[in-house]
Amino acid sequence: MLKNSVKILLVSLRDSFLDSDRVMPPMGVMSLHSLMLDRGIESTIENDFDFDNIEKYNSYSHIGISCMTPQRDQAYKILADVKQKLSHIKVILGGPHAKYYLEDCSKLPFDHIVIGNGELALLEILTNGDSSSRILQIPISVEQMNQFPIPYRKPDFLQQYCFDIQGIPSTTILTAKGCPMKCTFCEDAKSKVFMYKPENIGRQIEQAKEAGFRGIMFFDDIFTLSKTRVQNLSQEIVKHDIYYRCFGHARSMTPEIAQMLVDSGCIETGFGAESGSQKILDFVEKRVSLKQQMDYVEICNKRGIKVKAFLMLGLPGEDKDSIQDTRKFLSFLMSHRFTSRLGREITNDFDLALFFPYKGTQIRDRIDRGKGDIDLYLALNTDQLSGFYKGTNGSSDSAVMTSSLTSQQLEASRQELLGEFKPMVVF
Ligand code: B12
Ligand code: SF4
């Protein structure tokens, strides 16, 4: 039973380490906010928490903080300030940091910590108050996920966030959660996939269009999971006349899938190429060959789809030869020139980061077990670093080294490759 006095502030933290944190909207918080409003709970999104004037939050009964690891210091500061100055407010932590760094978080005086999906857990906390557990993990089913209200996208809120896809003002939508692949560097590996129904996605696209966005970035881990899924989604998307970008996987990209993407408005795909070295791809269980990665680029470019490849240096076993292999892959990627779907002569793009060993990844587990069965070592202060792999002006936290390359050498190689290939990008 909900008490009248229940009122929640949902906090989306700022990211001073990003070039801009007003690019992609906070979908986790937007989903929770919609659900709270739908259930008659007073809820506000705060995306610029006022540390200097914290008393203004006095009327809230709960503060729910959504946190990724690099934002943890802000979350911990809110907790400390609230406990000191507004001790009647219950503080709840959710988001990826709560899930993967639970041991650290549970040592702090958060009233509740939510692992994974927050919808039912938050309702449970707000309804049952002190009698609900301190650490909650309440999964939701695919049916529930599709029945919940779609994320909050009122124009004045959504318009605070914007980026462009080849010049088209864009926003983000998620068509599925989870990833079946098992890359050993990724926290999302081997997670169950939950898909939104195409009609649900159709409603979300319309909502984004009403806020003035004609471009959509489908931010799923892998949008091109299977031919059937792409077929179902593209039949819905095409009705809405948008341009979009999505994420593919070299293992599952085929000419047929690429054609369905193009026909429904796709102008760009991102894919995790990770490395140009087959040795490293095999080691991190990427389950692709270099040939498949190159075919991916060819298949997309032939149809005018621009490719943005995401790569890293500093995966286990990285050495001069593997960096040379990555150089070759970048040379292949960036030498393609083709006519885009929008009729311009363009080339591809890439991001090159340094691997950051987040807890919750298989690689980090193996390092922490300390059996010496992996050629990767943590820098002395890894867990004190901010914990980002893409920050302002292309900076990357330097947190690892291998037996042949120090952190500094890895960063120097990254800079060298960026200098060599980035100036060629034509938008
Ligand atoms: C979109 C996205 C971004 C956007 C974020 C936009 C924004 N303002 O939120 C951008 C591109 C900016 C981004 C940046 C980064 N990201 Co990111 N990102 C994602 C991505 C692809 C989707 C997240 C999302 O929106 N999911 C959809 C919503 C509905 O789910 P959700 O956010 O998980 O929220 C649910 C639960 O977590 C929970 N919940 C969330 N908040 C709260 C709060 C409360 C109170 C409660 C109760 C529950 C709760 O309930 C929600 C609904 O069920 C995920 C991967 C993934 N597939 O999840 C990575 C992911 C979250 N990102 C990650 C990383 C590493 C980063 C960066 C560090 C990368 C970098 N640049 O170096 C930065 C960090 C930026 C930061 N904010 O600190 C990691 C997180 C690792 C970690 N330990 O925190 C993930 C998991 C990817 C991965 N597999 O490594 N990211
Ligand atoms: S890196 Fe990409 S493909 Fe691999 S497990 Fe993570 S989300 Fe899936």
Percent of the chain with pLDDT over 70: 98
Alpha carbon distance 275, 148 (integer Å): 39
Q: How far apart are CA 3 and CA 69, in angstroms?
A: 33
Atom of ligand 1 at shortest range from CA of 219: 21
| Ligand 2 pocket mutation, candidates 221, 224, 312, criterion most atoms within 8 A of CB | 221
Q: How far is the CA of 68 from the centre of ligand 1 (A)?
A: 6
In tens, the pLDDT along 61-82 reads 999 999 999 999 999 999 999 9
Query: Quick one: which atom of ligand 1 is closest to the CA of 27?
Result: 25
Nearest CA to ligand 1 atom 4: 24
Within 10 angstroms of residue 153's Cβ, the number of other Cβ atoms is 21
What is the average pLDDT across 247-275?
97
Does 390 contact ligand 1 (Cβ within 6 A)? yes
Q: Which atom of ligand 1 is nearest to the CA of 114?
A: 47
Which one, of 169, 196, 191, lies nearest residue 178 by Cα? 191
* Ligand with minimal distance to 355 CA: 1
Q: What is this structure's pTM?
A: 0.95
Distance 95 CA to ligand 1 centre (A): 7
173 pocket-lining for ligand 2 (C-beta < 6 Å): no
DSSP per position, 43-104: EEEESS--GGGGGGGTT-SEEEEE--GGGHHHHHHHHHHHHHH-TTSEEEEESHHHHHTHHH
Q: Is 272 in the pocket of ligand 1 (CB under 6 A)?
A: no
Our answer on whether the CB atom of 75 is closer than 6 Å to any ligand 2 atom is no
In this predicted model, what pLDDT tens digit does every residue of 21-62 receive, in sequence order?
899 999 999 999 999 999 999 999 999 999 999 999 999 999
What is the architecture, at CATH level 2, of domain 162-424?
A: Alpha-Beta Barrel (3.20)
Cβ(11) to ligand 1 under 6 A?
no
272 touches 310 (CB < 8 A): yes
Query: Is the distance from the beta carbon of residue 95 to the nearest atom of ligand 1 less than 6 Å?
Result: yes
Q: Of 174, 218, 217, 224, whose CA–CA distance to 196 is shortest? A: 174
Pocket test residue of 177, 222, 225 for ligand 2, highest count of atoms within 8 A of CB:
222
**DSSP assignment string, 1-13:** ---TT-EEEEEE-
Ligand closest to Cα of 10 equals: 1
Q: Residue 1: pLDDT band by 50, 70, 90 thresholds? A: low
Averaged pLDDT for residues 95-110: 97
pLDDT at 364 over 70: yes
**What's the confidence (pLDDT) of residue 426?**
39
Q: Ligand 1 centre from 329 Cα, in Å?
A: 29
Nearest CA to ligand 2 atom 7: 221
Q: Does residue 425 have a pLDDT over 60?
A: no
H or E element at residue 30: helix 27-38
pLDDT value at 2 more than 70:
no
CA-nearest residue, atom 4 of ligand 2: 183
Every domain of the chain and the residues it spans: 7-145, 162-424
Lowest mean pLDDT among 134-138, 332-336, 386-390: 386-390
Domain 7-145: CATH class, spelled out: alpha beta
Contact 303, 344 (CB under 8 A): no
Q: How far is the CA of 19 from the centre of ligand 1 (A)?
A: 17
Span 147-151, average pLDDT: 98
